[in-house]
Amino acid sequence: MALQTSKEGEVPLLILKEGTKRTSGAEALRSNIAVAKTVEETLKTSLGPKGLDKMLVDSFGDVTITNDGHTIVKDMEVQHPVAKMLVEVAKAQDLEVGDGTTTAVVLSGELLSKAEDLLDDNVHPSLIISGYQKASYWALEELDRISTKIDPQDREKLMELAETSLSSKVVAGGKGLDYLSSLAVDAVLQVARQVNGKYYVDLDDIKVEKKKGESLEDSKLIKGIVLDKEVVHPGMPRLVKGAKIAIVNAAMEVEKPETTAKIQITSPTQLKSFLDEQTNMLKEMVNKVAATGANVLICQKGIDDIAQHFLAKAGILAVRRAKESDMDKLAKATNARVVTSFNELTSADLGSAEIVEERKVGTEKMVFIEGCANPKAVTILLRGGSDMLLDEAERSIHDALFVIKNVLEDGKIVAGGGAPEVELSIRLKERAKALSGKEQLAVMKYAEAFEVIPTVLAETAGLSPLDAMVKLRALHMEGKVNYGVDVVKGELADMVERKIIDPTKVKAQVIKSATEAAVMILRIDDVIAAAAPPPAPPKSGEGGMGGEEY
C-alpha cells in the first residue's frame, strides 16, 4: 500500500506490502459488527427447547447434526477473524461452565447490534465500552440478588436443572429426558467430594463411553470403569470375582536393544537357547505379577503372545493397550497405584473390585470393572441407534453434568425461560437513570440487549414476540421475578413453579463472555489484512504433457 505525500512530484512512501487491504474507522467497525450479527442470526434459531438443529458437513463429507452452540460455531470453519473471536467466546463458555454457549454468542451479537444504533447517533465507541463495562458489573450484582440458594443434596432440584439443560437437546423426546437426567445426577453425586462443607467435582472422573445399538433408554451408569477392550487370550477367565488388579504402564515384551547388532547362529541348538531365554524372561514377568496375588492385569502397552499363554495358565485376566486416561480413572476407583515396571510391582500396589467381567455390548466386547473399592470414578455407557444420535447424546450429557457440577459448587439457581434476562433488563434501565450523558444511553442499550433471549424463546414457542415482551415487562414490574416463557406449553408462566431453572454460574459466565467479546470488537477501528501468499508453482511434469505448454 502506498501513501502519497502532499507535495507534487515526490516519490510515494511504501508503508505496507503490495496487495495489503486496509479498512479503518467507522467502516472497519461496522463491517466487524455485521459479521457478529451474521453469526448471531445463524445461532439464534437453535436457542431453547424448540430451537432447530443445524446440519454441518465438513470438507471430508462427515455430517454433524446438532443445536449445541459450541459445536456449531466450532464446526462451521469460519474464516473472518471476528467470527473466530465469537468461536472463542463459545469455547470459553463451554470450558468454564459447559452450558449456555448459544446464549453467550447470541447476546454478544445483540450487544454489538445495539452498539451500532449508538454509533448511528454519533456516540463514540469508548463511551459505549465504558457504559457496557459498568452495565456488566451491575448485571452481575443484580443477578446475585435474584438468585436462590439451594441445598446441594436436594436431588429433586438437581433433576430439574438437568432436565432444563437437556430439554433443548435432541435427546429430550420420549423417556430419554428423565432417564438421562437421572444418570447425570447420580454420576455427579457419586464422584463429588466434600471438603470443609464445600463440594468439589472433577468431571474427568466421569467417563462417557458410546456404543451403537439398542436405544438411549438402555444407557447405564456403571459404578466403576468400562474399558473398550477385550480379554487378550481365549484361555483366560472371562469373569473374576474378588478381583486384585495390577495396573502397569509397561510392555510385557522382551525389549529390543536400540543399537543395531548382528548375531551369527551356526546351529539349531543356539537358536533354541535364544528362544528359551526369551520365554524365560516373559515367564519371569508373569511370575512377578502372580506373586503379588493379582488376578487381573491392566497393561497400557503390549503383551507378548507367549506372555499371554503364561498369564492364561496362571488364571490371570489381562487387558492390553488401555488408554492412559482410563488407567488414571481405574487407579482412582480401585485404589491401585500405576507402576512403570514389572520389577517394581508389589501387593501394596494392587487395587480391588468386586467383579471384573468381559461382556458383549452390541457387536463388540468390553471389560466391566464394578464394585470398586473407592467408586469415585464412574462410567456412563451411552446406547443409541446411530452414531450421530450418540454424538449428540454425548454433547447433551456433557452439558447436564456441568450444570449439576456448577450448582453443587456454587449452590445458586435462577429461573429459566428468559425470566432473569427480563428482570436484569428492567433493573439496569432503572439504575441507568443515575448516570448522565451518553454513558446512560450505552447502559440502556445493554439492558435492551438482554431482551433478545426471551424474544427468541417466545418466537420459537409460536407466540408473538412483541406481545410476549410487553406482558413479561408488566409482570416483572409487578414483582413477579420468575415469570418467563414456557416454550413447551407456549405460554408465559412462573418458571420455578414449572421446574424450569438454571445455575446462576452459567448466567454469570454468559454476561462476562458476551461483554468481553463485544468490548473487544468495539475497540477495533483498523483492520489491516495482509495479502494472500502466491500460489505454489506446479511441480515438474504437472504442466500438461511432459511439463510443456501448448
Q: Are the C-beta atoms of residues 127 and 442 closer than 8 Å to each other?
A: yes
**Residue 399 designated active-site:** yes
> Rounded to whole angstroms, how far apart are CA atoms 469 and 101?
23
Of 187, 191, 126, 128, which Cα lies nearest the Cα of 449?
128
CA dihedral 539, 544, 546, 547 (to 10 degrees): -40
Which grid cell is 173?
A: 423426546
- Provide the H-helix boundaries in 292-366: 305-313, 324-334
List C-alpha distances in Å: 221 to 176, 228, 378.
14, 15, 7
The Cβ-side half-sphere exposure at 491, using a 13 Å CA radius, reads 4
The one catalytic residue in 94, 326, 349, 399 is 399
Q: What is the identity of the amino acid at 366?
A: M
DSSP assignments along 406-432, one per residue: HHHHH-EEEE-TTHHHHHHHHHHHHHH
**Residue 64 designated active-site:** no
CA dihedral 433, 435, 441, 446 (to 10 degrees): -80
**Residue 102 designated active-site:** yes
Of 448, 447, 457, 509, which Cα lies nearest the Cα of 484?
457
Q: Phi first, then psi: give them for residue 235, nearest 5 degrees.
A: -85, -5
Which grid cell is 486?
A: 414456557
C-beta neighbour count of 126 within 10 angstroms: 10
User: Which residues, in sequence order, are CB contacts of 380 under 8 Å at separation 6+?
Assistant: 183, 184, 187, 206, 207, 208, 209, 219, 220, 221, 222, 397
Which grid cell is 178?
A: 428423565
Q: Are the C-beta atoms of residues 414 and 148 closer than 8 Å to each other?
A: yes
The one catalytic residue in 45, 66, 68, 99 is 68
Q: Give how far the C-alpha of residue 58 lies from the chain's centroid of Cα atoms, to the nearest Å.
A: 19
The one catalytic residue in 64, 102, 103, 164 is 102
> Rounded to whole angstroms, how far apart are CA atoms 165 and 183?
14
**Residue 71 designated active-site:** no
* Residues classed as catalytic: 68, 101-102, 399
